[in-house]
Amino acid sequence: MATSVSAAETMKFGHVGAPGSLFEATVNNFAECTNAALDGEVEVQTFGSSQLGKDKELLQKLKLGQVDFSLPSSVMSSVDDTFGIFEMPYIISDRDHMRRVQDAMMDKFQSAANDAGYHIVGLAENGFRNITNNVRPINVPADLEGIKLRTPNGVWRLKMFQQYGANPTPMAFSDVFTALQTGVIDGQENPYAQIASAKFQEVQKYLSVTGHVYTPAYVLMSKKKYDGLADNVKAALADCGSKTQDFTYEKAAELETSLLKVIEDAGVEVNTADKAAFIEASKPIYEQFADEVEGGQEMIDTVLGLGQSG
C-alpha cells in the first residue's frame, strides 16, 4: 500500500513583542504546545518585533490570509466596543478577577470577535499598565497636564488621558523608543514587560506606578481560517490556548517583580501614584462608556460585580 507523506502546514504567528517580552514568551509557548500536539500536521512559526506588521496591519493580514495568528491587546477596542470594557481604568483588580470575567463573558467577547471576522483561540495578557515620562513624577492626574504621552490605538485610552489632562498621542509600539529618544513625545504607558524589553528605561527618567489599566491579549485568528480547520486542529489550538494562558499568568507575575528591578537599576526614579485620585478622575470615562456603548452599563456592572466575589 502506498503511503503519502504530506508536509506539515506552516502557520505564521506575528506579534509586536520585542525579545524578552511577555508577548514573545506567550507566543513561543503557544507555538511549542501546538507543534507538539499536531506534530507533522501543523507547524506554527513565530515572528516577533512587528516583523510581519504592527497591530492594525496584523489584524488586516489575518483577514487577507497572509498571517494566521496575531496577539492584539488594546487595539481590540477598535475592532468592537465590547473590548473597550478593559479600557476602563481600574476595572480589573487582579488575574483571578480577570479569569472570573473570562468565565462569565467569554461568549460575548467571542461573538463580538466573530461578528468582526475573527476567532479568539485563547486569552493571554499584556498586563497592568504604568506611566513613564521625562517631565516629572506622576502622583495625581493633574501631574499629567500637558505631557505628550504615547498611547496605543484605542479610542478609550485616548479619552482617558485627555480626561486626566495629558496630551495623548496614538502611535505604533515599534515607533515609541525613537519618539522618546528624540523628544517627539514625553512619555508612554505600558506594563513592565513591555517597558523593559523595549528598553524604554534607557530614554525615560520617571516611572509612576499607576496600574491604571489591565489589558488582556488575545490569541487571534481570522474566523474564515479557523472555520476551515479540522476538528482535531481546533481542539489542539483551544487546549494550547488554555495552557498558554496559565503559563503567561505565571510568567507575568514573575516579570512584574524582576523587571521593576531592571527599570530601577537603569536609574529610573520610581514613585507610587495616588490610585484613589486616579479612580476619582476616571468616573466620567465610565459614564461615557455607559452612554455610548450598547449594553455598556450592564458590562461595567457585571465586571465590577465579579471583582467583589473574589
**Going from the N-terminus, what domains does the chain have, and what CATH number goes with each?**
9-307 (3.40.190.170)
Rounded to whole angstroms, how far apart are CA atoms 112 and 37? 29
Rounded to whole angstroms, how far apart are CA atoms 65 and 203? 37
pLDDT per residue rounded down to tens, the chain (310 residues):
444 446 899 999 999 999 999 999 999 999 999 999 999 999 999 999 999 999 999 999 999 999 999 999 999 999 999 999 999 999 999 999 999 999 999 999 999 999 999 999 999 999 999 999 999 999 999 999 999 999 998 889 999 999 999 999 999 999 999 999 999 999 999 999 999 999 999 999 999 999 999 999 999 999 999 999 999 999 999 999 999 999 999 999 999 899 999 999 999 999 999 999 999 999 999 999 999 999 999 999 999 999 986 5
Is residue 141 a contact partner of residue 278, using CB atoms and an 8 Å limit?
A: yes
Number of helical (H) and strand (E) elements in the chain, helices listed first: 11, 11
Which residue reads 484613589 in cell numbers?
Answer: 276
Start-to-end C-alpha separation, the chain: 60
Rounded to whole angstroms, how far apart are CA atoms 133 and 206? 5
Which residue reads 470575567 in cell numbers?
Answer: 101
What's the confidence (pLDDT) of residue 308? Answer: 82
